[in-house]
Amino acid sequence: MNLDLRLPMGLMFSIFGAMLSVYGFTSGPAIYQRSLGINVNLWWGLVLLGFGLLMLFFAMRARGKEPASPGSP
């Protein structure tokens, strides 16, 4: 198949990660009472961002290896 799934997947999780960590960074501590006082948005956002970027990295590396892959979007 010509679409490398890691590309959209990496992009989606990077966006999720960025959204959550920015939100976690800007939101006050009041909403984190329920999550045991942990700013889960910030931390989990960074985890998602890391996961997304890793996927993108692998997708880019595979692309670099096969420059002749026809019709890649």
Q: What residue ranges bind other proteins (CB under 8 A)?
A: 1-3, 5, 8-9, 11-13, 15-16, 19-20, 23-24, 27, 31-32, 34-36, 38, 40-41, 44-45, 47-48, 51, 73
- Which of residues 20 and 56 has its CB atom nearest to other proteins in the complex? 20
- Return d(Cα 40, Cα 56) in angstroms, integer: 24
What is the nearest approach in angstroms of other proteins to the Cβ of residue 31?
A: 4
